[in-house]
């Protein structure tokens, strides 16, 4: 669920930034609009950082400045800067507090303001037949869209940069060693069973319900945002794409052609992979060795690449000629009158018989 949340968050940020650019055609205005949309979550994130740094006696300076124009769809939450003297563990604890505060606030709004639990109970009792009734119950909440907007901005700004959490590594290693020690002395199973049946199970249930609410809100925002984006592209003919997390402005026709080329490239790669891996093995797919000339036998693996033709007007210098076999040719002389059958000494079969008779 956490992976799905992060993927949705990245997609939403990119396409909100894209819609802002389609409306303004200016990166500075797009950046300002981008930060304004997430303003409640940004304020909560930076406020929690500042308060936590004060509790841990870490100097925190305010660096509030007007956002500079950027081509990347990312929120640079650097309005509160921590002192360089802070330890990695202190930075990790301070950076993790916005996540804890965000999950707590999202859970509170979802359960105590929007009554999401009752919403899911109505669906569980009647299934999809009572979906309309459940939606009507949810929409009857006062200022429901304002609360949904707050949930959206808080849930998409509460996660810190992964580099700021490196200080937790020694703590997690120590915790893993402690858990391993409990299993060695034979009480690990008891502690795990107690934790799963007690507070740990409740925490996991709360997290699962909170993440489910966040995913549902982000999916709803994805549908709305995708529709708005498609309408603007149809009307203006303009579009954009992201390459390396940076916005690249293009026409809608160019985007369609680019996507078509990418699909064709993927299809060709899949067909090539299927030809190489599918079916019985063939001798034509093997890199067979090519023998060298006599006296210089060497194995040269054949290459599948096609030979490159020489350019017109190119020089022949430096190119090796064809391999030739050197030596002296001796002509074969054949006699016109060859004797009948002779052995190696030049004797005929009749002379051999006479000599054997004389010896006997």
Per-residue pLDDT tens digits for 63-84: 788 888 888 888 888 888 888 8
- Is the separation of the CB atoms in 58 and 90 below 8 Å? yes
Question: Cα(168)–Cα(170) distance, rounded to whole angstroms?
Answer: 6
Nearest to 351 by CA among 339, 336, 337: 339
Condensed to tens digits (0 to 9), the pLDDT of residues 127-168 reads 778 888 888 888 888 999 999 999 999 999 988 877 767 767
The separation between CA 222 and the C-alpha centre of its own chain, rounded to angstroms, equals: 20
Tell me the mean pLDDT in the region 316-337. 54
Weakest mean pLDDT among 7-21, 52-66, 286-300: 286-300
Q: Is 128 left (phi over 0), alpha (psi -120 to 50) or beta?
A: alpha
Does 258 score more than 80 pLDDT?
no
Nearest to 103 by CA among 114, 115, 111, 92: 111
Question: Residue 249, class by beta-carbon neighbours within 10 Å (0-12 exposed, 13-18 middle, 19+ buried)?
Answer: middle
Spatial contact of 107 and 214, defined as CB atoms under 8 Å apart: no
In order of 76, 148, 220, 223, 354, the CA distances from 216 in angstroms are: 25, 11, 6, 11, 117
Q: For residues 64 and 124, give the distance between their C-alpha atoms in angstroms, rounded to a whole number.
A: 47
The pair of structure tokens assigned to 129 is: 């037949």
Continuous segment of H or E residues that includes residue 152: helix 144-155
How far is 11 from 15, CA to CA, in rounded Å?
Answer: 6
Could you please report the per-residue DSSP string of 187-215? Answer: -HHHHHHHHHHTHHHHHHHHHHHHHHHHH
| pLDDT above 50 for 338 | no
* CA end-to-end span of the chain: 111
> Which residue do the tokens 């966040």 mark?
214
Task: Express each pLDDT in 175-213 by its tens digit.
Answer: 788 778 877 877 767 777 666 666 677 777 777 888 888
């Amino acid at each position: 669920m956490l992976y799905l949340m992060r993927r949705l968050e990245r997609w939403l940020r990119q396409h909100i930034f894209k819609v802002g650019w389609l409306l303004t055609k200016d990166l500075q205005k797009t950046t300002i609009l981008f930060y304004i949309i997430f303003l409640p979550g940004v304020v909560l994130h930076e406020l929690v950082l500042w308060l936590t740094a004060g509790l841990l006696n870490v100097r925190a300076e305010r660096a509030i400045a007007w956002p500079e124009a950027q081509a990347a769809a990312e929120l640079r939450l650097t309005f509160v800067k921590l002192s360089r003297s802070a330890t990695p563990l202190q930075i990790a604890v301070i950076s993790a507090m916005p996540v804890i505060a965000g999950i707590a606030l999202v859970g509170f709004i979802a359960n105590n303001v929007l009554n999401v639990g009752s919403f899911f109970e109505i669906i569980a009792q009647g299934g999809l037949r009572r979906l309309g009734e459940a939606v009507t119950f949810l929409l009857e909440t006062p200022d429901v869209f304002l609360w949904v907007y707050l949930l959206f901005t808080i849930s998409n700004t509460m996660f810190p940069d992964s580099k700021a959490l490196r200080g937790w590594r020694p703590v997690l290693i120590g915790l893993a060693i402690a858990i391993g020690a409990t299993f060695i002395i034979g009480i690990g199973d008891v502690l795990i069973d107690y934790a799963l049946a007690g507070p740990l199970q409740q925490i996991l249930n709360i997290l699962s319900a909170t993440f489910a609410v966040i995913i549902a809100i982000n999916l709803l925002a994805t549908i709305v945002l995708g529709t708005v984006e498609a309408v603007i592209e149809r009307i203006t003919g303009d579009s954009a794409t992201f390459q390396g997390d940076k916005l690249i402005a293009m026409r809608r026709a160019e985007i369609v052609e680019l996507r078509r080329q990418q699909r064709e490239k993927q299809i060709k790669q899949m067909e090539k992979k299927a030809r190489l891996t599918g079916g019985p093995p063939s001798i034509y797919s093997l890199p067979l060795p090519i023998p060298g000339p006599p006296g210089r036998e060497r194995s040269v693996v054949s290459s599948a690449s096609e030979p490159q033709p020489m350019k017109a007007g190119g020089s022949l210098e430096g190119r090796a000629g064809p391999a030739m076999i050197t030596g002296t040719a001796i002509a074969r002389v054949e006699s016109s009158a060859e004797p009948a059958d002779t052995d190696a000494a030049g004797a005929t079969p009749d002379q051999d018989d006479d000599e054997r008779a004389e010896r006997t």
